[in-house]
Structure 1
Amino acid sequence: MIDLSGRIALVTGASRGIGEAIARRLASDGAIVAVHYHSAADAARTVVAEIVAAGGAAFAVQGDLSEHGGAAGLAASFIGELRARFGAPEFDILVNNAGLGLRATIEDVTEHDFDLLLQTNLKSPFFLIKALLPHFRKGGRILNISSMGTRAAYPTMAAYAPAKAGLEALTRLLAVHLGERQITVNSVRPGTTATDMNAAARDPVTSRVVAETIALGRVGQSTDIAKVVAFLASEDGGWVTGQQIDASGGQRL
């Protein structure tokens, strides 16, 4: 059993997919969860309502992490919610899940594409962490959702994989930098996961082909990733920091 009672978490990109599963799991373990969304306000409100109906605690917070200054805006909104709801801007867990994918080889990546992926997948997490660092309680947790594309060569991840590799480098150096505050920093690398953003993994035929590359013989589910994040966010995960945790079922080993 994981007990996150009394902890407050912000999960970015939590209105659907892996982020939604993480938000639901942390809430079921007792955390108060801020469900971040960009434009899917109705979906975020549904996630919050269902968490509350199940006995948990959650609230929604909006922010556009694809834009310059978006991280600062989200941080300000989140801190404002904490002050209004709890009287203090302190919290415990940040999950940088929001991201943008693009399947294209280097020949087809435009400078606009590259800038957008770098902004969403690396720059915004960087500046969100920076803005929120003063508000972390001692013993906090930072979880960065990366990709197994940083360890396996996928030519169609020409812009996406380098951005996620930068996030992993940030993970390592922050683990050292924040160790004195007992804040752990880890990356989680999902493999092929069946979400609404990954239609191929949900297709029965395509998923069977992909499953042949996975040691455990199936594509991942969002809840598989959420379980790993919940462990790393817990007291039991407190001796793990600066790591890139592969959560792929053994894909392309």
Structure 2
Amino acid sequence: MLASMTNTPALFIHGLWLHASSWQPWSDLFAARGYAPVAPGWPGEPDTVEAARRDPQAVAGHGIDDVTEHYAAVIATLPAAPVIIGHSFGGLITQKLLGRGLGRAGIAIDPAQIKGVKPLPFAQLRSGFPVLGNPANRRRAVSLTPAQFRYGFANALGERESGDLFDRWTVPSPGRPLFEAAFANFTRNSPAAVDTANTTRGPLLLISGQQDHTVPDVVTRATYKLYGDSAATTELKQFPDRGHSLTIDSGWRAVADHTLAWLAAQGIS
């Protein structure tokens, strides 16, 4: 869907292991509220979940910079600066784009850790191990098993809902971004670096699910603190009893409604 010439564009960016179509309920809601939503996939991502599963290596090898430039090119085609909404690694990309002044506002939901974030909880290490446990995965696309998805994404859900979400939305994803984020603090020019000191960027909302295993709440809180030197608006919203699946599970609407209310409070509609 292309953004109209009059409505504020809303650009949705997914993270690892979810297909771009997982944003459809959000896109429908934002369109009903007057936004012009767009939800393109990552570089090389096939158009459907089924096609992505048939060709897992289509996305292999793409890193954070590749994905950032891919979405920067999408923004260049839009009629106005968009609201950028990203989940997980999409939340990291959202922050990079907003730091470059390419968005009117940003919402980073359970965002992957940016350079400078120091906490590394055990739950996060366990969630990342299916990729980080094998250095060869840096060049590959990797799929989660149902058990890995349940631990990393759906630990706050019942087993049936976890299985349903896994069957509906999960796809193979490149391992490279996880390695880049994991070693960001040891890499001088890390692609996971964000301009957190930018005082002229649009407002940013960080959202955390406090039961998240993939991006634990302490990681999002540490990200929030990195913005302390910027006079630009940065806010943190925590959702108790929510895990990494909070954008796609049965409670997604509460997160989306809070996002819309926050945007309205910033004078953006």
**Structure number with higher helix proportion:** 1
**Structure number with higher strand proportion:** 1
Bucket of the pairwise TM-score, normalised by the shorter protein = 0.3 to 0.5
- Compute the TM-score of the two structures, normalised by the length of structure 2: 0.44
Higher relative contact order (CA 8 A, sep 6+): 2
- Compute the TM-score of the two structures, normalised by the length of structure 1: 0.46
